[in-house]
Chains A and B, each alone.
Chain A
Amino acid sequence: MAIFILPAGLLVCTLLIAPMLMMARISLNHYDAMSLMVEALTAENYLRAVADPYYQRVLATTLGVAVGCTLVTVLLAFPAAYWLARMESKWKSAVTILTMFPLLVGNVVRSAGWIALLGNEGLVNAALQGVGLSDHSIQLLYTPGAVIVGIVGVVLPYMVLTLSAVIEGIPRQAEEAAANLGARPLTVFRRVILPLATPGVVAGSVLVFILCMNAYATPVLLGGPQFQMMAPAVYDQFSRVSNWPFGASLAFILLAVTILMTVVGSSILGRKLRA
C-alpha cells in the first residue's frame, strides 16, 4: 500500500516543488533589456524590489488591504457563523450549502456582480438617485473601497464555515451557565464564546489573510488601473515586461511576507483572544 503514495507525491514534487526551486534560482539571475535573462548569482532583484518606492507602495497597499479585509471579515463572519452553528432547524444543511455556494462560483463571476452593483449606472447608484439621496452618480467602482468590499465578499464564506465549525464544538451549557449567573449576552460572547472560539478565529484569519494577500481578479477588476496590489504586479513582470528574475523575486517576497505575517499575526491574535 505504501507504494500508492508515489504517483501523487511525484506529481506534486514535479509540478510544484521543482518549479518553485527553479523559480528561486531564476530570481537570482541578472536581467538586461537586450538578452532578457543572464545567468548570475545576485541579490539585485530582491534589493531593487525592496528599495523601489513604487513596489514599497504596492506592498504597503497589499498589506493594508489584507489586514483590513481580515479584520472586517472576522467581525462580519462571527454573527453569521454563530447563527449557523446554533441553528437547529431542518434548514441547517441547506444554509451550509448556501454558504459554500458563492465560494465555489469563483472570483471572476462575483467580481462581475460587484461591477453591476457599484458601477456608475449600477444598482447602488440607481437606488441612491431613485430615492433622491443623490443627484449624480457617485464614483464607487475603481476605488480602494470597492476592492475591499469585493475581497471581503469573496473570503467571507471561508471565515463563516471555519468559525461555525469551531462554535459548534462549544457546549451550549457553557453559555447557559454564564447567562444563569447573570452575564448579559455581550458578556457571554466576550468572556465565554470568543475565548473558546479562538482556534477558529486564528485558523480562519490565517486562511483569509493568505487569500487577501494574493488576490488577483478582485483588484484587477474592481480597483482600476491606478490601484496596484502584489499579485497583479507579479503577473505583469511575466506577461507584459518579461523580466523573469524580477518577477520571480517579487513572487518570493510576496510569499515570504505572507508567511511572516501569518506566523506573527496568529501568535499575537491567539494570545490576545485567550487573555
Chain B
Amino acid sequence: MTATRLAFRGAVVFTYLLMLVPVVMVMLISLFNEEIVSFPPSGFTLHWYANAWARSEFATGFAISVQVALMATVIGVPLGTAAALSLARSSIPAKGAIGTLLLGPLAVPGVVAGTALYLFYLKIENGLDQDVVGTMPGLVGAHILLTIPWTVRVVTASLQGLDRVVEEAAANLGARPWTVFRRVTLPMLRPGIVAACMFSFIQSFENLELTLLLVGPGKTTLPVAMLNYLEFRMDPTLAAVATIQILIVAALMVVTDRFVKLSRVV
C-alpha cells in the first residue's frame, strides 16, 4: 500500500521534473559567470542579457518575431472568431467538413505544411516577379495559418457556454442585430477572444517548423536564430535570449489568466 503510494508520488515528481527542469536550467545558465558553461559556476551576472541584445541576429530576430506574431494575431483572431460564429450560428452545409478544414493547420505536420508553403511561395514569386520568401507578408501569411485553428477552437468552446437567452432578450427589446453583437455577444465572448489572442501570439512567436524555409537573410525569426546558434554552441548568451522568451510566455499566461481561467480553456 505505502510502497504503491510512494512509487506513485515518485512517478509524478519525475514527470514534472522532466517537463520543467530544462526550462529552469536555461533560466539558471543565463546568469552564469563563465562563457563556457560548467557546474558549479564561479558566480552570477546579468552581463549576458546585454550581450544578447548586442548581437544583431537576436535583436532583429526578436523584433521580427514580435511584429509577425502581432500581425498574425491581429489578422487571424478576427478571421477565426468570425468563422467560429458562423459555424455555431448559421446553417451552412457541410459544417463538419469546414470545421475540420479550419482545424487543418493543427493536424498537418509543420514539416509538410512548411515545405508545401515554401514551394507555393516560390511559384507566386515566379508569377508576380516579386519576393515572397524572406519577406514580412510571406511570414505573416504563414503564421495566420497557425492562429486560425486555435482561435476557432477556443472561441467555439466559449460560444458553447454562452446563454442565447440574453441575446434574444436584447433583440426583443429592439436592438438591431449589429447592436446585439456589439453590446451583448462580443462582451460575453471576451474571455475566449483574449485566450485566442494569447495562444495565437505564442504559437506564432515560438514557431519553428513552418517558418524554417520561409525566412531570408536579415529576416530571421527568433526561434530560427536560436536554432542556428545552438547548432554550434550553447552558452549563457543563448540562455539569456531563451529566458526572455520564457518570461514573455509566462507574463502572457499570467495576464490572460486574469481574464479567463486558462485551466478551463485547454
Interface residues of A (CB under 8 A from B): 1-5, 7-9, 11-13, 15-20, 22-23, 26, 76-77, 79-80, 83, 92-93, 96-102, 104-117, 119, 121-123, 126-127, 149, 152-153, 156-157, 160-161, 184-186, 210, 213-214, 216-217, 220-221, 230-231, 234-235, 238-239, 244, 247-248, 251-252, 254-255, 258
Contacts and interface: CB of A to CB of B under 8 A. Distances in A.
Contact of B148 (A11, A92, A93, A217): A11
Given A101-B253, A106-B249, 20 more contacts: A4-B83, A5-B83, A9-B83, A12-B148, A15-B145, A19-B117, A92-B263, A96-B266, A97-B263, A100-B262, A101-B249, A104-B253, A105-B249, A109-B26, A115-B230, A156-B15, A184-B1, A213-B109, A231-B111, A238-B115
B263 A116 contact: no
| Interface-central residue, B12, B104, B250, by most chain A CB under 10 Å | B12
Interface residues of B, number: 86
Contacts of B8: 79, 83
Nearest to A210: B109
Contact of B253 (A2, A97, A123): A97
B98 A153 contact: no
A79 B25 CA distance: 24
Interface in B69-90: 79-80, 82-83, 85-87, 89-90
Query: Do most interface residues of chain B lie in helix, strand or loop, or is the interface mixed?
Result: helix
Given A15-B145, A76-B14, A97 B262 contact: yes
B217 interface: no
Given A23-B119, A153-B19, A221-B230, A108 B239 contact: no
A161 B266 CA distance: 8
A23 B213 CA distance: 15
21 contacts: A1-B85, A1-B90, A7-B82, A12-B148, A16-B104, A16-B116, A19-B116, A20-B108, A20-B113, A79-B12, A80-B16, A83-B8, A83-B12, A93-B262, A98-B16, A105-B246, A112-B242, A116-B239, A153-B22, A216-B208, A234-B115
B50 interface: no
B46 interface: no
Contact of A79 (B15, B39, B112): B15
A121 B16 CA distance: 24
A26 B79 contact: no
Contacts of A93: 257, 261-263
Given A112-B26, A116-B29, A156 B86 contact: no
B39 A239 contact: no
Contact of B86 (A5, A113, A119): A5
Contacts of A23: 112, 115-116, 119-120
Query: Do most interface residues of chain A lie in helix, strand or loop, or is the interface mixed?
Result: helix
A86 B108 CA distance: 33
A238 B118 CA distance: 9
B110 interface: yes
Given A7-B82, A20-B112, A99-B19, A80 B12 contact: yes
B32 to A, nearest CB: 10
Nearest to B122: A244
A4 B110 contact: no
Contacts of B40: 126
Given A102-B19, A220-B231, A238 B144 contact: no
B165 interface: no
